[in-house]
């Protein structure tokens, strides 16, 4: 029996079949946090959760954006009042393409559904942008490749959603898969797909605390990094290899720069053939740096990370994504991720918090 309400699918809602269907995954970042807007190195992997988009040409001058998850329908006309919420990302993607190809782009009816958790640091916004851009590419047969899609998605987010994000999330959603780590140099966009550390598998746990104050604090960290680079007379903090140089800066720029310089080093160490145990040590050091130097952790994330780090079947753990709430990522011994997730969450709940398992299992 089909239990779906007829009006929840595209045809039920818009009265015609979709012309194209696309999707894009969320991502979890294993190492290299807050390095991408400093031209540094990152190491994300795609997660099984995806955002799906169906679309067709609109019969009139209106774009209609429907979110099944939020149960809303937004009408948007190019050049008219700009929408907010999820539709800002969709309209932003539409606008960045329309600027480049005004003669090709025409209004669309679009339906989105997603199982990428929102506000957990797993790039639900990048998954939405990449899925929408893939859909528009297919519908209008646009000559844009996967890197173009990532760059357009980033533009949509920076210009229309107001977050001065780096390129990691969009590149991960557009180019990563679930079987490999994507090692990306965010300055050159050179990249390699690398095998996951042997004898290990992924655990991603949600702290249950949605990200708070994320865009203002995020933009502030970014501004601090730019100030640190100016003081050190370099283009970006990527150009600093020696942590000692960071120590010459005033508070808090010294600690912000120390995080970025040491985090870039950790990514490079991780991709130089690190074993699972060595990788875990790097993840633990990354969390300490994000907590103490970059100050983007919160007590709930520290608690969850600590419980993970003390579990005998865990190699290492850290917060993942921008911080200020959201999820933790950990590397578990092969075959143990399910058990670890259950045990750690039981201990976390005993402290009065409410988390959940987001990803667990072999790569
Ligand atoms: C968010 C941003 C990314 C990156 C991370 C932190 O996910 O969108 O560009 O800066 O935070 O590493």
Q: Helix (H, G, I), strand (E, B), or coil: what is residue 52?
A: strand
Peptide bond into 238 cis (omega under 30): no
Close Cβ partners of 132 (under 8 Å, ≥ 6 residues apart):
53, 89, 90, 93, 94, 110, 112
Task: State the Cα angle at 283 between 277 and 286, rounded to 5°.
Answer: 145
Close Cβ partners of 260 (under 8 Å, ≥ 6 residues apart):
34, 35, 38, 40, 225, 237, 240
**CA 148 to mean position of chain CA atoms:** 17
pLDDT for 211? 81
pLDDT for 79? 82
Whose C-alpha lies nearest to ligand 1, atom 2? Answer: 165
Whose C-alpha lies nearest to ligand 1, atom 11? Answer: 322
Q: What is the mean predicted confidence (pLDDT) over 107-121?
A: 95
Band of residue 1 on the pLDDT scale cut at 50, 70, 90? very low
What's the first-to-final CA gap in the chain, in angstroms? 33
Q: What is the pTM of this model?
A: 0.95
Task: Confirm if 183 and 53 have CB atoms less than 8 A apart.
Answer: no
**What Cα–Cα distance (Å) separates residue 56 from each residue in 7, 18, 25, 170, 353?**
16, 5, 21, 24, 44
| Closest ligand 1 atom, residue 33 Cα | 12
**What Cα–Cα distance (Å) separates residue 263 from each residue in 35, 260, 333, 362?**
7, 5, 24, 26
| Closest ligand 1 atom, residue 29 Cα | 12
At 211-264, the pLDDT tens digits run 865 678 999 999 999 999 999 999 999 999 999 999 999 999 999 999 999 999
DSSP element (H, E) containing 308: helix 299-309
pLDDT at 113 over 90: yes
Identify the residue with better confidence: 127 or 215: 127
pLDDT for 213? 54
DSSP element (H, E) containing 227: helix 214-231
| Closest ligand 1 atom, residue 36 Cα | 10
pLDDT at 5 over 60: no
Domain ranges of the chain: 6-193, 197-361
Q: Helix (H, G, I), strand (E, B), or coil: what is residue 102?
A: coil
Task: Among 163, 168, 220, 297, name the best residue to mutate to test ligand 1's pocket (greatest count of ligand atoms within 8 A of Cβ).
Answer: 168
pLDDT at 351 over 70: yes
At 87-99, the pLDDT tens digits run 999 999 999 999 9
Å from CA of 215 to ligand 1 middle: 10
| Closest ligand 1 atom, residue 34 Cα | 12
Query: How do 191-195 and 180-185 pair as beta strands?
Result: antiparallel
Task: Among 117, 126, 322, name the best residue to mutate to test ligand 1's pocket (greatest count of ligand atoms within 8 A of Cβ).
Answer: 322
177 DSSP 8-state letter? -
Output the six-digit token pair for 98.
């329309």
Å from CA of 164 to ligand 1 middle: 9
* Distance between CA atoms of residues 218 and 222, nearest Å: 6
At 275-312, the pLDDT tens digits run 999 999 999 999 999 999 999 999 999 999 999 999 99
CATH topology of domain 197-361: Alpha-Beta Plaits (3.30.70)
| Closest ligand 1 atom, residue 163 Cα | 8
Output the six-digit token pair for 273.
């053939």
Q: What is the mean predicted confidence (pLDDT) over 98-102?
A: 94
Task: Confirm if 32 and 183 have CB atoms less than 8 A apart.
Answer: no
The dihedral over CA atoms of 280, 282, 285, 289, expressed in degrees to the nearest 10, equals -130
pLDDT at 75 over 80: yes
Active site residue ranges: 169
Output the six-digit token pair for 244.
């000692």
Tell me the residue length of the chain: 363
Q: Centre a 10 Å sphere on the Cβ of residue 111 and count the other Cβ atoms it contains.
A: 25
* Distance between CA atoms of residues 171 and 167, nearest Å: 6
Give Rg (Cα) of the chain: 21
At 303-346, the pLDDT tens digits run 999 999 999 999 999 999 999 999 999 999 999 999 999 999 99
pLDDT at 8 over 90: no
At 43-53, the pLDDT tens digits run 999 999 999 99
Task: Confirm if 204 and 319 have CB atoms less than 8 A apart.
Answer: no
**What CATH code is assigned to 6-193?**
3.30.230.10
pLDDT at 162 over 50: yes
Identify the residue with better confidence: 73 or 5: 73
pLDDT for 212? 67
Query: How do 44-57 and 108-114 pair as beta strands?
Result: antiparallel
pLDDT for 161? 85
pLDDT at 363 over 80: no
Task: Among 27, 31, 32, 34, name the best residue to mutate to test ligand 1's pocket (greatest count of ligand atoms within 8 A of Cβ).
Answer: 34
Ligand 1 pocket by Cβ (under 6 Å): 33-34, 36-37, 165-166, 168-169, 321-322
Å from CA of 74 to ligand 1 middle: 27
Å from CA of 32 to ligand 1 middle: 10
Å from CA of 106 to ligand 1 middle: 31
Task: Return the half-sphere exposure (C-beta side, CA atoms, 13 A cut-off) of residue 206.
Answer: 17
Whose C-alpha lies nearest to ligand 1, atom 9? Answer: 166
Whose C-alpha lies nearest to ligand 1, atom 8? Answer: 165
Å from CA of 3 to ligand 1 middle: 38
């Amino acid at each position: 029996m089909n239990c779906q309400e007829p009006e929840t699918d595209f045809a039920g809602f818009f009265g015609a079949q979709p012309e194209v269907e696309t999707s894009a995954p969320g991502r979890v970042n294993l190492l290299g946090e807050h390095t991408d807007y400093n031209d540094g190195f990152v190491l994300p992997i795609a997660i099984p959760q995806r955002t799906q988009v169906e679309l067709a040409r609109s019969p009139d001058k209106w774009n209609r954006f429907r979110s099944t998850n939020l149960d809303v329908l937004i009408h948007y006309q190019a050049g008219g009042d700009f929408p907010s919420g999820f539709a800002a990302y969709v309209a932003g993607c539409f606008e960045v393409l329309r600027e480049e190809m005004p003669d090709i782009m025409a209004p669309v009816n679009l339906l989105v559904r997603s199982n990428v958790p929102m506000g957990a640091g797993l790039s639900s916004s990048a998954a939405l942008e990449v899925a929408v851009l893939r859909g528009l590419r297919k519908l209008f047969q646009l000559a844009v490749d996967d890197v173009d899609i990532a760059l357009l998605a980033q533009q949509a987010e920076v210009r229309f959603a107001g977050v001065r994000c780096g390129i990691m999330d969009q590149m991960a959603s557009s180019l990563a898969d679930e079987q490999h780590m994507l090692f990306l140099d965010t300055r050159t966009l050179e990249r390699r797909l690398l095998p996951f550390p042997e004898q290990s598998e992924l655990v991603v746990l949600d702290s249950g605390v949605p990200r708070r104050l994320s865009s203002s604090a995020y933009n502030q960290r970014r501004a601090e990094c730019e100030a640190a680079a100016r003081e050190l007379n370099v283009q970006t903090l990527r150009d600093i290899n020696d942590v000692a140089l960071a120590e010459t800066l005033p508070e808090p720029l010294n600690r912000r720069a120390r995080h970025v310089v040491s985090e870039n080093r950790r990514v490079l160490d991780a991709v130089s053939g690190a074993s699972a145990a060595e990788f875990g040590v790097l993840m633990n050091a990354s969390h300490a740096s994000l907590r103490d130097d970059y100050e983007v952790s919160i007590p709930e994330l520290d608690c969850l990370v600590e419980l993970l780090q003390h579990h005998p079947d865990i190699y290492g753990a850290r917060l993942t994504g921008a911080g200020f709430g959201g999820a933790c990522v950990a590397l578990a011994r092969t075959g143990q991720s399910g058990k670890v997730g259950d045990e750690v969450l039981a201990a976390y709940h005993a402290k009065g918090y409410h988390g959940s398992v987001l990803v667990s299992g072999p790569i």
